[in-house]
Amino acid sequence: MISRKERMEAPFHSQGLIKEFRNSVGTGFPETCSPKLVSPLVRPIEQSAAALKEFDRETILPTITELVQHAATLIRYREYSAAQSLLRHALMHDSNYTPAISLLAVVLERTGQQDEAVKCRRALIRLDASADNQLDLAALYYGLENDEAAFNTYQSALATHSVPESRLFEVYKNIGNILVRRGDFDGAEDFYNRAFTIEPKSDSLLVNFGTLEINRDDLEAAGARFRAAIEINPNSDRAWVGLALVHRAKGDFELSWANLERALDLNPSNRTALKLIVEWAVRDGRVQAAAARLETYLATDGEDAEMAFSLAKCQTLMGRFNDALFECERVVALDPEQEEAVRLRLILAERILAEAGASA
């Protein structure tokens, strides 16, 4: 056994061992080079910081990529809460990682967090003002009925980018709809025609054309557009609503009612049709039909205060005071500042108490 002293002295006094070590590990030192103690290398502070940053980038980026990939999978399965958690964790490491921001915007839109989604979309454009990112923000504004912001963003995208062909139809159609609401009917027609050259068989576009003609008071042209939409898609509830409006304007009430009922059969949640059926029911003495449609709708969307109040008014007209009071309670719970509902609730409560006292 080699003594501790021999082991300590060997590296400095045994040239044979040094040569053997050099040959085994391939140091590249010349044989005449005597081994020396090398002082530790001290890296300057700024170099150390750069090295650490490079190390972080090499070790974290794959992790962020994996987090985003897992989040995308969760989104496909509608596991939005878990996906959002992963994406926010990824952005804690790199707040400018655009794939994570883009997916987070999708999650926020689908979970109704629209204000936060707008912030994400705007941040994304600051990092990458591509056509797709601008169009996604414009579409979000459009869905939120922020017409001015949507119009300006669409125009910016068209002016600064070559918009992908696959997205031009939606852009032209939405701009046309905004212009109709502004009262610029000629401008709207121009954009509708651009969209028509891309997708001439779009029933939704034909419905938009029909709405434009109604605004121009051209009932014949409007009716033709709505019928053309129905020929392409017999299940277009919006086209049936449009046709109902045309027949109503022409004085054909029975046919207009049939068209409206058809629209609600296809889509019981068509809010335009629901509003019309309430309005027409009061005028035509068909309140029970409207109440039935509203009850069906509220069975699936019980937090719609506007429709709940419409049902309360219908039930009041039908003499169903207890049911109407219940609906008023629902409305006030959802919207405490709904003054009409508060007043109707008071009237109904007094009426029910008076009737109970009279029958006692």
Average pLDDT on 288-300 reads 96
Banded model confidence at residue 192, pLDDT cuts 50, 70, 90:
very high
pLDDT at 354: 85
Q: Is residue 25's pLDDT more than 80?
A: no
Q: For the domain that residue 318 is a member of, what is the CATH number? A: 1.25.40.10
pLDDT at 153: 97
Number of domains in the chain: 1
What are the CA-CA distances from residue 210 to residues 224, 250, 324, 346 (Å)? Answer: 8, 15, 37, 43
Could you list the residue range(s) of the whole structural domain that residue 359 is in? 286-360
Residue 297: alpha-carbon gap to chain centroid: 23
Distance CA 135, CA 112 (A): 19
Residue 330 in domain: yes
Banded model confidence at residue 356, pLDDT cuts 50, 70, 90:
confident
Residue 240 in domain: no
Residue 322 in domain: yes
Residue 92 in domain: no
Altogether, the residues listed in the chain come to a count of: 360
- Quote the mean pLDDT of the chain: 87
Written as one letter, the residue type at 182 is R
* Beta carbons of 101 and 66 less than 8 angstroms apart: no
Residue 214 in domain: no
pLDDT at 86: 93
pLDDT at 14: 43
Residue 53 in domain: no
C-beta atoms surrounding 285 within 10 Å: 10
Banded model confidence at residue 360, pLDDT cuts 50, 70, 90:
low
Q: Give this prediction's pTM.
A: 0.76
